A and B are shown apart, each in its own frame.
Chain A
Amino acid sequence: MSEISNTLPGRGPHQPLVFHDTHESHPANGTLLGFWVYLMSDCLIFACLFAAYGVLGREYAGGPTAQEVLELPAVAVNTSLLLLSSITYGFAVLAMQRNQRNPMLVWLVITGLLGAGFITLELREFAHLISIGAGPQRSAFLSSFFTLVGTHGLHVTCGLIWLVVLITQVLKKGLISANKRRLLCLSMFWHFLDVVWVGVFSFVYLMGVLP
């Protein structure tokens, strides 16, 4: 037993070199940091689209105004769906931390359904706008509106595809370390989309309908 302790660094009198791993010089896991940097680059894309909307959002070109075409009750439902999907994904992460596979999968499926509901409502809104002649080609306001809200919707759609892929992965391979890492990346992605939506419903919808 004493032999073993002598071979360990820092044990015994004949060990001049002692290395301390302080965990301070570099992050424990590079993937999550890298994914965070990706999210920040996404944030810049949205900042540009928000800026474009901020500049063009009141240029109606004689077409319908934001007050006329944006419907707040539908947006309120949409917002609730996305916020609920954020908290259900949080519950999935909690179940993942306890290594409970099936509860986690149930929460993930609920998250996916809420996200799908969000996309469905948004597509219906777009279809309605286009059907009344308020498509993206009508005015600068509608161009920037469709670009900004549509880009967010595209992100949510990608998140949904990713979610389905991950559920399949977990079903096939179980809660292995790699899958946990992927689930945490998607959780950041999903919560980040909720953050962007806060900007969208405040800046585009609520401020858009103000007189």
Chain B
Amino acid sequence: MSAHDELHAHGDDRGHDEDFGIHATFSGYMTGFVASVVLTVIPFWLVMGHVITKSSTAAVIILALAAVQIVVHMIYFLHMNAKSEGGWNMLALVFTIVLVVITLSGSIWIMYHLNSNMMPSMMDPSNLP
């Protein structure tokens, strides 16, 4: 009898694979949704209500809130954690983040300097050292 139970339990286990390891919950989705709404409303309010006059401060706050919201989406909507898919999910994500950071920061850094060096003032011989 115990063997039969064992077999049955094994069959059940296979059945669980139909969930594909994703265990979405209502509370999880609602947490993510409420957090996203808050994290969206704040930057829109900051910009549309002209709350912060200094552009650079506003930009830093907007980017920080966006980063937090992306993490919220990843955890609550995309069900990311260190254990999903045996850790390979997280590995692919970390690899991509590294490439994205290199692409974004590298492009903007290099092109900004390239831009500065292309300014017409650089062409003026009196400005040369």
List the interface of chain A (C-beta within 8 A of B). 1, 4-5, 8, 11, 23-29, 31-33, 36-37, 40, 43-44, 47-48, 50-52, 54-55, 72-73, 76, 79-80, 83, 86-87, 90-91, 93-94, 97, 177, 180-181, 184, 188, 191-192, 194-195, 198-199, 201-203, 206-207, 209-211
Contact = CB atoms under 8 A, between A and B. Distances in A.
Contact of B92 (A5, A36, A177): A36
Given A36-B93, A55-B112, A201-B40, 13 more contacts: A4-B3, A11-B3, A27-B21, A27-B85, A29-B85, A40-B92, A47-B103, A80-B40, A93-B24, A180-B20, A191-B73, A191-B77, A210-B55
Contact of B1 (A1, A26, A94): A1
Contact of B100 (A47, A73, A177, A198): A47
B29 to A, nearest CB: 4
A11 B6 CA distance: 11
Interface of A is mostly: helix
B4 A4 contact: yes
A207 B62 contact: yes
Contacts, number: 156
B24 A79 contact: no
Contact of B78 (A5, A72, A87, A191): A191
A180 B29 CA distance: 19
22 contacts: A1-B4, A4-B3, A8-B3, A27-B21, A29-B17, A29-B85, A31-B20, A32-B85, A47-B100, A72-B47, A72-B48, A83-B33, A83-B36, A87-B30, A87-B33, A94-B24, A97-B24, A198-B66, A198-B69, A198-B73, A203-B63, A206-B43
B107 A55 contact: yes
Interface residues of B, number: 59
A48 B96 CA distance: 12
Given A27-B88, A36-B92, A202 B43 contact: yes
Contacts of A79: 40, 44
A52 B24 CA distance: 36
A201 B70 CA distance: 12
Contacts of A36: 85, 89, 92-93
Nearest to B55: A210
B122 interface: no
A79 B29 CA distance: 17
B73 A194 contact: yes
Contact of A32 (B4, B20, B58, B74): B20
A20 to B, nearest CB: 13
Nearest to A210: B55
A202 B73 contact: no
